[in-house]
Structure formats: structure tokens, C-alpha cells
């Protein structure tokens, strides 16, 4: 099939790394591995900040009209697409292209990782929420990566067609390395952005202060505009405890993880967190909070330990437990690697997508 792929929040070609960009790229790879031709339909971002929402939406609608005209002309006649695939539409980044173009070409529309919250259905956001709901209703299927998102969509649009597909990664870079954990080496990989990322870093620093009597060091891979605030949060722990590595390429992250003993990240506001799967693929047990979508990618007492949201003492105790209990740490590490490289592989996701696409095409009437 010829598939037009679009990510309104962040294109797979966007220069700034993020979990959104990575998952968009993984979906393209999974679809391509099935033999389909996948084209990035547009680089247009529809992301809007709260402070500029009204003006931004008007500008985005105008940009979308021009993009629809361009795409229609570019992919007309014998080069017409067979499917439109939208990744991660939500109230701040609605899909202003897919629904109109799917209707124009008479092709199925798939949404992946759409999310809806009725709490956002107020004020200036109401219009973008309505656009999202319209897309959900008319999609041939809405692929949900978490039960949380599925339940939210089902409550908002009971008639929407929903399918669960588990978050996944390309585990090959991590399988190429044999785990060689260094005693007491803790690892964190995360960008340093305002909001949930900064909150997680601050929570992690507070928990680590509670176990300064134990032998450990923390390697941090990540950078961003909030680095000064992150450094201040960890300053009381001392220079000898923290290794600041900055932003790393995937190969360097894989090497770092192969030498770690425990992966730490509270996970405030995480949709699910691909970094957890990458760490587990490298053979690291995880300590995280049982919050947001984290339980979708970390199985408590199988691949890591999940602690109550916001409980700094429980988080510290979980780290201390794994630092002092080699048997439990080894058991979780082994299961984590099996889980991430087997159950959450790109090949498994591709097979799930194949079955879904077959059903869609069988039922679709042009």
C-alpha cells in the first residue's frame, strides 16, 4: 500500500529528539517492514501553546488549507494513496489534514496515540477538541498505546473503533551488547524540560538524598533548557555522586545502559516512556512511580519496582532494596530484558499492525 503518514505534533524529521519523534519513526519503520510505501505527508506542525491558542489555530487552519491543496495535487491520479495514518493528535496538536484528505481520496484514516480529556474542553480549546472528536469518529481505527488513553477515548466517543497496541522499541542496539552492570551505578536518561520532566528530576533528587548512606553513583544522560534547575536539585548530593553526560546519541545511550545496574525515573506525566523499554532491553531493572502510563511499560516485581505517586520515601526504599538485594536485582534484570526485547519488539508491533490493516482493508469500501 501507499501510506501517507502525518504527525501534527512533531514530524519524524524534526531536528529535536523526543519520545514523540522516536515513536513516529518507529511506526514508519514498522509499516515499511510490512512492505508498504510510507511517505511523510507534511512537515506542518499544528502545536499550539495556551497563550497563543486563538491566533495559532486560525493560522494553522489557513496553513492546512494550503497543505491540503498541495497534497491533493501531489498524490492525485495513479499516485493516489491507499491509507492515511496520523500519529498523536490531541487538543494542542489536532490533525487538520487527515480527515479532509481521507474523505477526498476515499481512503481509510488511522489515528495512533490520540488522547482526549474532557477537562480540556473549555474556552479556546473547545474548537480543537471538536476537531479531534470528529477525527476519532470517522477513523477506521484508533490505535491506543495505553488503557488509560483507550478508556478516555471510549468515554468521549463511544462509537469510535478502538484497538490496543503496546508501546514498542527497536531493541537491536541493546541486544548487541552484553549487560555488564557496575555495582551501584544508577542511570537516568531524560530531557531537561519544564513541567513533568523537571518535576521528575526534582523528585528523584529528593529521594536520593534519603539514601546517601548507601554506595551509589548516578549517571544522567540528558540536556535542555532546565539544566540549571536540575543541577541545583542535585547539588546537595555532592559532585562525586553525579555524572553529567549531556545529550547522547542512541549508540552511546545503549553503551551507558549496558553498564548500569538500575534505571531510575519517577515518570511524572509520562504517556508511557520509551526510555523505560530501552533500559529494560539493556537488562536494567527499573524504579519508577506507578503514575500516568508508566505501568504500561514497567511490570511491578517482574521488570522493576513501581512506587506510589509522589511518595519520595517509598521511591528511595525501592532503590535501596535493589542496591542491597543482588538476587532480586538480577531476577528483575533478566525479566526486563526478555520483556522489552521479546514482548515489546518492533517486529511484534509490525505483526499487530499487519492484522489490523488487513481487517481495515477487508471492510473498507471505496
According to the model, what pLDDT value does residue 365 have? Answer: 54
In Å, how far are 12, 33, 62, 99, 168 from 26, measured between CA atoms? 9, 10, 30, 23, 8
> pLDDT-based confidence at 45, cuts 50/70/90?
very high
Q: How far apart are CA 44 and CA 57, in angstroms?
A: 13
Residues 100 and 138 sit within 8 Å (Cβ to Cβ)? no
Q: Which class is 2-168+345-363 in CATH?
A: alpha beta
The mean pLDDT value for 260-274 works out to 95
The mean pLDDT value for 37-64 works out to 89
Q: How far apart are CA 269 and CA 275, in angstroms?
A: 14
Phi first, then psi: what are they for 305, rounded to 5°? -125, 130
Complete DSSP assignment for 181-224: PPTTEEEEE----TTHHHHHHHHHHHHHHTTTTS--EEEEE---
Q: Where are the domains of the chain?
A: 2-168+345-363, 172-343
According to the model, what pLDDT value does residue 366 have? Answer: 47
Domains 2-168+345-363 and 172-343 fall in the same CATH topology: yes
In Å, how far are 19, 285, 331, 335 from 328, measured between CA atoms? 29, 9, 5, 11
Phi first, then psi: what are they for 157, rounded to 5°? -135, 80
According to the model, what pLDDT value does residue 182 have? Answer: 97
* Span 347-366, pLDDT tens digits: 999 999 999 999 988 877 54
Q: How far apart are CA 74 and CA 83, in angstroms?
A: 15
Query: What is the residue-averaged pLDDT of the chain?
Result: 94
Nearest to 284 by CA among 307, 308, 301, 259: 259
Query: Which residue carries 533500559 as its cell?
Result: 279
Q: Look up residue 143 and give its three cell numbers.
A: 490505535
Q: How far apart are CA 150 and CA 314, in angstroms?
A: 29
* Span 270-311, pLDDT tens digits: 989 999 999 999 999 999 999 999 999 999 999 999 999 999
Residues 169 and 277 sit within 8 Å (Cβ to Cβ)? yes
Task: Name which residue leads in pLDDT, 239 or 143.
Answer: 143
Domain 172-343 has CATH 1.10.10.10: no
Q: Check whether 246 has a pLDDT greater than 80.
A: yes
According to the model, what pLDDT value does residue 362 have? Answer: 80
Amino acid at each position: 500500500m501507499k501510506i501517507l503518514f502525518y504527525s501534527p505534533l512533531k514530524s519524524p524529521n524534526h531536528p529535536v529528539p523526543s519520545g514523540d519523534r522516536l515513536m513516529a519513526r518507529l511506526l514508519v519503520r514498522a509499516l515499511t517492514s510490512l512492505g508498504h510505501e510510507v511517505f511523510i505527508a507534511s512537515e506542518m506542525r499544528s502545536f499550539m501553546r495556551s497563550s497563543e491558542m486563538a491566533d495559532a489555530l486560525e493560522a494553522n487552519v489557513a496553513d492546512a488549507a494550503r497543505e491540503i491543496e498541495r497534497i491533493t495535487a501531489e498524490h492525485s491520479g495513479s499516485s493516489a494513496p491507499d491509507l492515511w495514518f496520523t500519529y498523536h493528535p490531541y487538543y494542542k496538536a489536532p490533525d487538520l489534514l487527515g480527515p479532509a484528505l481521507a474523505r477526498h481520496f476515499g481512503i481509510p484514516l488511522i489515528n495512533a496515540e490520540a488522547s482526549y480529556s474532557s477537562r480540556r474542553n473549555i474556552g479556546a480549546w473547545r474548537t480543537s477538541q471538536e476537531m479531534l472528536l470528529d477525527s476519532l469518529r470517522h477513523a477506521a481505527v484508533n490505535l491506543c498505546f495505553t488503557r488509560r488513553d483507550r478508556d478516555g477515548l471510549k468515554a468521549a466517543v463511544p462509537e469510535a473503533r478502538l484497538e490496543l497496541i503496546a508501546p514498542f522499541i527497536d531493541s537491536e542496539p541493546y541486544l548487541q551488547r552484553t549487560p555488564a552492570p557496575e555495582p551501584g551505578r544508577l542511570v537516568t536518561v531524560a530531557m531537561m524540560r519544564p513541567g513533568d520532566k523537571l518535576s521528575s528530576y526534582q523528585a528523584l533528587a529528593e529521594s536520593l538524598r534519603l539514601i546517601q548512606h548507601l554506595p551509589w553513583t548516578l549517571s544522567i544522560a540528558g540536556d535542555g533548557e532546565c539544566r540549571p534547575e536540575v543541577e541545583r536539585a542535585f547539588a546537595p548530593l555532592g559532585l562525586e555522586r553525579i555524572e553529567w553526560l549531556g545529550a547522547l546519541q542512541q549508540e552511546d545511550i545503549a553503551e551507558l545502559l549496558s553498564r548500569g545496574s538500575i534505571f531510575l525515573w519517577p515518570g511524572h506525566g509520562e504517556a508511557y516512556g520509551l526510555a523505560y523499554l530501552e533500559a529494560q532491553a539493556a537488562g536494567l531493572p527499573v524504579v519508577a512511580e506507578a503514575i500516568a502510563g508508566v505501568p504500561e511499560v514497567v511490570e511491578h516485581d517482574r521488570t522493576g519496582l513501581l512506587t506510589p505517586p509522589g511518595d519520595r520515601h517509598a521511591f528511595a526504599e525501592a532503590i535501596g532494596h535493589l542496591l542491597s538485594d543482588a538476587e532480586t536485582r538480577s531476577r528483575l534484570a533478566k525479566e526486563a530484558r526478555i520483556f522489552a526485547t521479546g514482548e515489546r519488539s518492533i517486529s511484534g508491533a509490525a505483526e499487530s499492525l499487519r492484522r489490523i490493516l488487513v481487517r481495515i482493508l477487508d471492510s473498507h469500501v471505496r
